[in-house]
Amino acid sequence: MPAYLCSACGLQFPPADAPPARCPVCDEARQYVPPGGQSWTSLEALQPKHRNAFQLLEPDLYGIGTVPEFAIGQRALLIRRPEGNILWDCVALLDQATIDLIRGLGGIGAIAISHPHYYTTMVEWSRAFGGVPIHLHEADRDFAVRPDPAIRFWSGDRLDLGAGATMIRTGGHFAGSSVLHWAAGAGGQGALLTGDTIQVVADRRWVGFMYSYPNLIPLPPAAVAAIRDAVEPVAFDRLYGAFWHSIVAGDAKEAVRRSAARYIAAVAGDL
């Protein structure tokens, strides 16, 4: 039985004889069912047509993204550290080359995911590296459609992953939307890995905040202020969003502050 996955977002379902009736990630206001309708594929069907590209973004931080692009087109991040590597977010394609290359980098000790758009084939990734824990915020539990003993739902506003890696729940894009603070990143000045929770925009000195990016649905000002305030206590100079180009290379904390201020002024008609 194939474990069907959604062609539009990469979300994988438990093995079944027939594809699911709908994808809960796509069939709601933050995402969309493509004009041609919902379609399904499988990891086995993807593997011959795609591969994963790796890029060293800074010492001990690798981007991993699929080419040609598949579904939403995000890239994941692998933090390499002696205490155990962390995979931040996920991509649907997993193949033997990816497993071999990551093993060469020390494997994966834990998987942490910002929000349901990047759940994809997280269970396959966990199993490929020995059933490592997958940390998801419990507020988004309904989107985790493939149950697995490796999934650990966390609650509250912070989860300590050890050795200076901390998940911080900001909310906003999703109720459980989280970022990962990596204290050792950016040469020890700190890096913030943000998924779609804080999105790097075209002018890479700035970031944006949306309930839905493809459908252009904004967040209320209070939610944007809450995101800004949630990351205020941690030090970071660099910020990595969910895509290859999504990097605020320096002074990133100030970029979050001024971007939140610009957003709040804009929705008040005060640009």
- Work out how close the CB of 212 gets to Zn ion at its nearest, in angstroms, rounded to a whole number: 8
Q: Out of 5, 26, 78, 191, name the contact with Zn ion by CB under 5 A.
A: 26
Q: Is 140 in the site for Zn ion (CB under 5 A)?
A: no
Q: Which is nearer to Zn ion, 9 or 151 (CB)?
A: 9
Binding-site size for Zn ion (CB under 5 A) equals: 9
196 binds Zn ion (CB under 5 A): yes
Please identify, using beta-carbon distances, which residue of 132 and 224 lies nearer to Zn ion. Answer: 224
Stretch that binds Zn ion, among 24-32, 200-208, 245-253, 255-263 (CB under 5 A): 24-32
Residue 117 in the binding site for Zn ion (CB under 5 A): yes
* For Zn ion, the closer CB: 102 or 219: 219
Stretch that binds Zn ion, among 16-24, 59-67, 143-151, 230-238 (CB under 5 A): 16-24
Indicate the residue among 8 and 43 with the shorter CB distance to Zn ion: 8
- The answer to whether 6 contacts Zn ion (rule: CB under 5 A) is yes
Distance CA 182, CA 238 (A): 10
Per rule CB under 5 A, is residue 23 in the interface with Zn ion?
A: yes
Residue ranges binding Zn ion (CB under 5 A): 6, 8-9, 11, 23, 25-26, 117, 196
